[in-house]
């Protein structure tokens, strides 16, 4: 020992900093290796991880789940009405984003959007009455995810709203999403004024029939090739859908014009879609939901099949743990805020749109979308780094979603909850940010991370079995 | 000396390889520095370069020319007819790409396209008669560039063809281009069969009026912001115009539907444009021509204001040398060829579309368009390297055309002929490749370089004067 310390030392310090501090205080040098115990030292999660790592049953189940995700081919079939299209949708039911949450606990924008939906349905004559109705227990609130659906931000779907209908014919599963209203004062960010309701009425009465007429003429539209093309055009198809929305218009317009839809309606529909670069988002989300539902329910699989936030809790579902949600408090988003807004004004992370990251696009495919940093912050180099980091916690590269900037490597997809807990690398999510109070709307956008605790809880509950 | 050679040598070898070869044969090591004398050793060009480098008059003239290029704001004003819109257009005149060339010397695809234009104009009843008419000197052949116009590939514009009308109101100059026909059997690649003529007739009779009606309703369309947006969506607006064409449709469609154009015509126009990802190319070219014409004619300026190829010669124009072309043989393009085609089947480099590179987009902005390498060859890394290399031969970065992958740096623009000759770094051009025979069409695409000799000749002729 004394001989060792007589020589000049080359020190690598792993983990706790105080050892390196001491050496440096004495004039020595130490290279610090960033390290933390798996699951941040949570012993139950650590034990679960030890049980599940290198378990051949988990590996086989994950391979099967990932294969099902990769094989899915979601098709846009048309537009339906929520009360008819969504399985289990009730006549006095309103669906919301994220895991289950009671009215009293809901964040401001979700309550605001529900008030708007009640007014839109004509169940109450003003906001006060709507609020009393919501509080009085007359309406059932359930997650979109419990009805095959996904909705961005508040994610509110009420019975008479039009919904996109998506079918994955490979596995026979269906998924749904509401229609995107654009930016500004919109229901999904918690606004519920007369202009919001008027726009929803117009979308039901004019836009939806025009789109249904166009899709009826065109036939089912394969969504994955359109997403793949958009990834070559600077979108990540979560918070940047400029190319995908344009490509959708190009596909729909000739059919719309030939469909016999009234010319004034067609013109209004085209103008609305052409003015909304986020129009494709909800289709992207429904397609991701269809791919991931195809991978859900594989016994022993640790693959994550949903990440969703209700503005209070962040929840995940895992293929091998059934319908159960594993939750943790939803984080605040340290993003780019609009003028005169800050993180103090923000609702916590909100929306089903993290289904895109769960499916390997959005934040996972940021390498495809360097220009998105102008919206969510950071540099194009950060965007590349985010995609590369996600390769450490995912099961596959999706060859259907290639990333030009990474020499056409596939997007990292199929989050393995084990790897998240083991590495501490948390799934990255690009997201919009809503004001915490009802009725205000969007106040920014940013990059956030899924909470570790969701994945740790899932591992503890994941049962392995021979099949 | 003997003391020097007694020690181990660290050798840097500059230029001629034989010195390094000799050292390596004796077991020594040499690092080879790539170097060549300016202008490849051309003494006249070298002398001209020595005269022009660090000449304050050239610097001031270039600053002025570049400032005019940057300040230009080309607007799409509408559609006209070539014989009425183009200055100096004759009634028995056909315009072609590149510098002047007589019928006898023209490449196959240019002759083929001219035969097609004669049939389209109804000047001859069959291809044989058209060819005899072209050969007989009854028709004047002049470059598009001599009439404010640019055309891709063969670049054929005949009197009754519709043309895009672009105005740069900042400097008052106008520019023009023909309308893009799509891919496959098309006039610009030398095809001239009945389906080609039928399509040109439809474009004149249906498409052009519909577009004019839409633009009339919409008002003038600013082109630079649209190009800038497309550069954030994976286009380089020369050989990749997928995003720009989609953005154009989004802008034009609502206006078209409100313009009162017949519904069937509108539907056919939308379908045609939606099916042609290159539709924006000709608008991009006319806009580039408008920006560069604004910078033309500044005495003493060595800034390149046009690069164009006629399939026999590559020609450039320089701001300070008037209307004169400086030419060299057009190169063959070592690109990606379609199945069963090779460089042996190719016409030499062809088309006015290198006006895009002259204006800082196309190959100069390849960093924005990593996915284009699937068309023109190479890797996304090469695309970045091409853009970076062009910074060594250009006067400015265009802050109006930012490149996300390079952390939003401006595209390198305004080629300085002095720097090309001094560094030997040749302007990079993304280009389509036509079959060498008339009537076959496109056989590939690739990346090529402008010939050094054009720039060397221009320097020799550039006069400097105090102003």
Report pLDDT digits (tens) over B84-137: 999 999 999 999 999 999 999 999 999 999 999 999 999 999 999 999 999 999
Given a cut of 80, whether residue A5 has pLDDT beyond it is no
pLDDT for residue B72 is more than 60:
yes
Contact: A258, B267; criterion CB under 8 Å: yes
**Cβ of A259 under 8 Å from any chain B Cβ?**
no
Q: Give the mean model confidence (pLDDT) for residues B313-342.
A: 96
Write the DSSP assignment of B407-446 as a string of letters: TTEEEEEEEBHHHHHHH-PPPEEEEEEEBSSTT--EEEEE
In this predicted model, what pLDDT tens digit does every residue of A90-108 receive, in sequence order?
A: 999 999 999 999 999 999 9
Q: How far is CA B46 from CA A148, A171, A359, B52, in A?
A: 73, 70, 59, 10
Secondary structure class of A417 (helix, strand, coil): helix
Segment A329-344 shows an average pLDDT of 94
Tell me the nearest-neighbour CA distance from B245 into chain A, angstroms. 9
d(CA B316, CA B354): 10
Cα separations in angstroms, A148 against A235, A355, B22, B193, B412: 25, 12, 75, 53, 50
Query: B371 and A274: CB-CB below 8 Å?
Result: no
How many angstroms separate the CA atoms of B412 and B395, rounded?
A: 8
pLDDT digits (tens, 9 = 90+) for B158-183: 999 999 999 999 999 999 999 999 99
pLDDT at A308 exceeding the cut of 90: yes
- Identify which of B342, B346, B352 has the alpha carbon closest to the alpha carbon of residue B331: B346
Residues in chain B: 467
pLDDT band, residue B38 (cuts 50/70/90): confident
Q: What is the model's pLDDT at position B16?
A: 82
Percent of chain B whose pLDDT exceeds 70: 99
Distances (CA, A) of A345 to A108, A442, A444, B292: 11, 11, 10, 49
Mean pLDDT, rounded, for B2-13: 79
d(CA B128, CA A39): 81
Q: Quick one: which H or E segment has residue A80?
A: strand A75-81
Alpha helices per DSSP H over B122-241? 127-135, 194-202, 208-218, 223-231
Lowest mean pLDDT across A143-152, A453-462, B24-33, B366-375: B24-33
pLDDT at A62: 98
What is the separation of C-alpha B378 from the centre of its chain, rounded to a whole number of angstroms? 20
- Residue A165 and residue A78 in contact, taking contact as beta carbons nearer than 8 Å: yes
Give the closest-approach CA distance of A182 to chain B in angstroms: 15
pLDDT score at A24? 87
- Chain A contacts of B229, Cβ < 8 Å? 242
Is 60 exceeded by the pLDDT of residue B62?
A: yes
Give how far Cα A228 sits from Cα of A283, A360, A408, Å.
14, 12, 11
| Test the B interface: residue of A404, A407, A408, A409 with most B CBs within 10 Å | A404
Q: Which of B263, B370, B404 sits opposite A371 (nearest CB)?
A: B404
Q: How far apart are CA B76 and CA B256, in angstroms?
A: 15
**What are chain B's domains?**
2-35 (no CATH), 40-69+295-461 (3.90.1700.10), 76-285 (3.90.1710.10)
* pLDDT, tens digit, 9 for 90 and up, residues B296-319: 999 999 999 999 999 999 999 999
- Residue range B364-372: average pLDDT? 97
Distance (Å) from the alpha carbon of A301 to chain B's nearest alpha carbon: 35
B233–A253 C-beta distance less than 8 A: no
To the nearest whole percent, how much of chain A has pLDDT over 70? Answer: 99
The answer to whether residue B191 scores a pLDDT higher than 70 is yes
Reported confidence tier of residue A212, pLDDT bands at 50, 70, 90: very high
Greater pLDDT, A9 or B400: B400
- To the nearest whole angstrom, how far is the Cα of B271 from the nearest Cα of chain A? 5
Q: Is the pLDDT of residue B467 over 70?
A: no
Neighbour order of strands in the sheet with A75-81: A149-150, A173-178, A162-168, A75-81, A221-222
> Does pLDDT of B261 surpass 90?
no
Q: How far is B233 from chain A (nearest CA, A)?
A: 4
DSSP symbol at A182: -
Cα separation, B372 vs B377, whole angstroms: 8
> Using only C-alpha atoms, what is the Rg of chain A?
23
Q: Would you state the pLDDT for residue A223?
A: 98
Tens-place pLDDT, residues A36-88: 888 888 999 999 999 999 899 999 999 999 999 999 999 999 999 999 999 99
Residues B415 and B283: their CA atoms lie apart, in Å, by 21
**Angle, helices A242-258/A263-274, rounded to nearest 10 degrees:** 170
**Residue A346 DSSP code:** B
Chain A contacts of B232, Cβ < 8 Å? 234, 371
A39, burial (CB in 10 Å: exposed 0-12, middle 13-18, buried 19+) = buried
Average pLDDT over residues B412-429: 97
Average pLDDT of every residue of chain A: 95
- Residue A27 φ then ψ, to 5°: 90, 5
Give every CB contact of residue A384 below 8 A, 6+ residues apart in sequence. Answer: A366, A367, A370, A405, A406
Q: Which chain B residues are Cβ-neighbours of A406 within 8 angstroms?
A: 380
Q: What's the angle, vertex CA A324, arms to CA A108 and CA A280, rounded to 5?
A: 55
Q: Chain B contact for A380, CB < 8 A? A: yes
Cβ neighbors of A174 (< 8 A, separation 6 or more) are: A148, A165, A166, A167, A168, A290
Question: Is the minimum CB–CB distance between B371 and chain A shorter than 8 Å?
Answer: yes
Q: Please, is A338 exposed, middle or buried when counting C-beta atoms within 10 Å of its C-beta (0-12, 13-18, 19+)? A: middle
* Whole-number pLDDT of residue B41: 87
Segment A365-383 mean pLDDT: 94
Please report residues of A whose CB lies closer than 8 A to that of B242.
Answer: 229, 233
Q: How confident is the model at residue A262 (pLDDT cuts 50, 70, 90)?
A: confident
**Alpha-carbon span A65 to A299, nearest angstrom:** 9
Residue B289's SS3 state is helix
**CA A138 – CA A156 distance, rounded (Å):** 17
Question: Which residues in chain A are contacts of B405 at CB distance < 8 A?
Answer: 370, 380, 405
Q: For residue A403, what are the contacts with CB-CB under 8 A and spacing of at least 6? A: A231, A365, A367, A368, A387, A409, A410, A411
> Closest Cα of chain A to B388: distance in Å?
16
Q: What pairs with residue A410 in β-bridges? A: A402
- Give me the mean pLDDT over the B346-356 stretch: 97
Q: How far apart are CA A189 and CA A109, in angstroms?
A: 6
Residue B466: the pLDDT is 60
Residues 6+ apart with CB under 8 A from B115: B127, B130, B131, B134, B192, B438
Taking CB atoms and an 8 Å limit, are A405 and B380 in contact across chains?
yes
Q: For chain A, how far is it from start to end, CA to CA, in angstroms?
A: 55
- Contact across the interface for B258 and A267, Cβ inside 8 Å: yes
The residue ranking higher by pLDDT, A258 or B313, is: B313
Residues ≥6 apart with Cβ < 8 Å to B144: B95, B96, B97, B150, B151, B155, B157, B352
Q: In this structure, what token pair is assigned to residue A442? A: 């969007």
Which residues are A447's β-sheet partners? Answer: A430
pLDDT category at B283 given cuts 50, 70, 90 is: very high
The 8-class DSSP code of residue A125 comes to: S
Query: Model confidence over B450-464: pLDDT tens digits?
Result: 999 999 999 999 999
Please report the pLDDT score of residue A466 as a whole number.
60
Closest chain A residue to B241, measured at CA:
A233
Would you state the pLDDT for residue B440? 84
More confident residue, B382 or B14: B382
**Following DSSP, what letter does each residue of B210-234 receive, concatenated?**
HHHHHHHHH--EEHHHHHHHHHTTT
CB–CB of A413/A395 below 8 Å?
yes
Question: How far, in Å, CA of B414 to CA of B399, rounded?
Answer: 13
Residue A35 contacts B, CB cutoff 8 Å: no
Q: Does residue A467 register a pLDDT over 60?
A: no
In contact, A452 and A40? CB cutoff 8 Å:
yes
Tell me the pTM. Answer: 0.92
The continuous run of DSSP H or E covering B30 comes out as strand B30-33
Q: How far is A368 from chain B (nearest CA, A)?
A: 9
Which residue in B245, B404, B407, B409 has the most chain A C-beta atoms within 10 A of its own C-beta, making it the best mutation to test that interface?
B404
Size of interface A-B (CB pairs under 8 A): 88
């Amino acid at each position: 020992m004394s001989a060792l310390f007589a020589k000049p030392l080359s020190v690598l310090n792993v983990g706790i900093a105080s050892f390196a501090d001491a050496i440096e205080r004495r004039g020595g040098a130490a290279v610090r290796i960033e390290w933390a115990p798996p699951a941040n030292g949570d012993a139950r999660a650590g034990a679960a991880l030890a049980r599940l790592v290198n378990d051949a049953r988990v590996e086989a189940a994950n391979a099967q789940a990932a294969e099902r995700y990769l094989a899915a081919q979601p098709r846009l079939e048309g537009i339906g009405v929520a009360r008819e299209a969504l399985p289990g949708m009730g006549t006095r039911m309103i669906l919301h984003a994220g895991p289950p949450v009671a009215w009293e606990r809901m964040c401001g924008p979700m309550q605001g959007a529900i008030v708007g939906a009640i007014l839109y349905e004509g169940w109450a004559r003003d906001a006060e009455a709507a609020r009393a109705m919501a509080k009085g227990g007359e309406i059932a609130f359930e997650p979109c995810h419990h009805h095959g659906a996904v909705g961005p931000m508040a994610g509110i779907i009420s019975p008479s709203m039009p919904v996109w209908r998506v079918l994955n014919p490979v596995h026979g599963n269906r998924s749904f999403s509401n229609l995107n209203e654009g930016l500004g004062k919109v229901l999904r960010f918690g606004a519920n004024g007369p202009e919001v309701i008027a726009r929803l009425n117009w979308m039901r009465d004019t836009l939806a029939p025009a789109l249904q007429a166009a899709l009826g003429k065109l036939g089912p539209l394969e969504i994955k090739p359109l997403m793949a093309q958009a990834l070559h055009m600077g979108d990540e198809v979560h918070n940047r859908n400029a190319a995908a929305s344009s490509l959708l218009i190009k596909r729909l317009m000739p059919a719309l014009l030939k469909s016999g839809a009234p010319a004034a309606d067609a013109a209004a529909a085209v103008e609305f879609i052409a003015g909304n670069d986020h129009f494709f988002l909800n289709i992207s989300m429904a397609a991701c939901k269809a791919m991931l539902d195809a991978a859900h329910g594989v016994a022993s699989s640790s693959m994550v099949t949903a990440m969703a936030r209700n503005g209070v809790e962040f929840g995940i579902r895992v293929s091998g743990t059934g319908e159960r949600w594993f939750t943790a408090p939803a984080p605040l988003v340290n993003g780019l805020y609009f003028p005169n807004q800050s993180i103090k004004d923000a609702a916590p992370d909100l929306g089903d749109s993290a289904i895109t990251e769960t499916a390997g696009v959005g934040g996972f495919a940021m390498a495809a979308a360097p220009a998105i940093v102008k919206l969510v912050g950071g540099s194009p180099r950060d965007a590349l780094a985010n995609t590369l980091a996600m390769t450490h916690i995912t099961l596959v590269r999706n060859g259907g979603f290639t990333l030009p900037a990474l020499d056409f490597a596939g997007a990292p997809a199929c989050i393995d909850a084990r790897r998240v807990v083991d590495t501490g690398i948390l799934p990255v999510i690009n997201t919009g940010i809503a004001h915490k109070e009802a009725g205000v709307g969007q106040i920014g956008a940013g990059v956030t991370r899924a909470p570790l605790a969701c994945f740790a809880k899932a591992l503890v509950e994941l049962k392995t079995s021979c099949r």
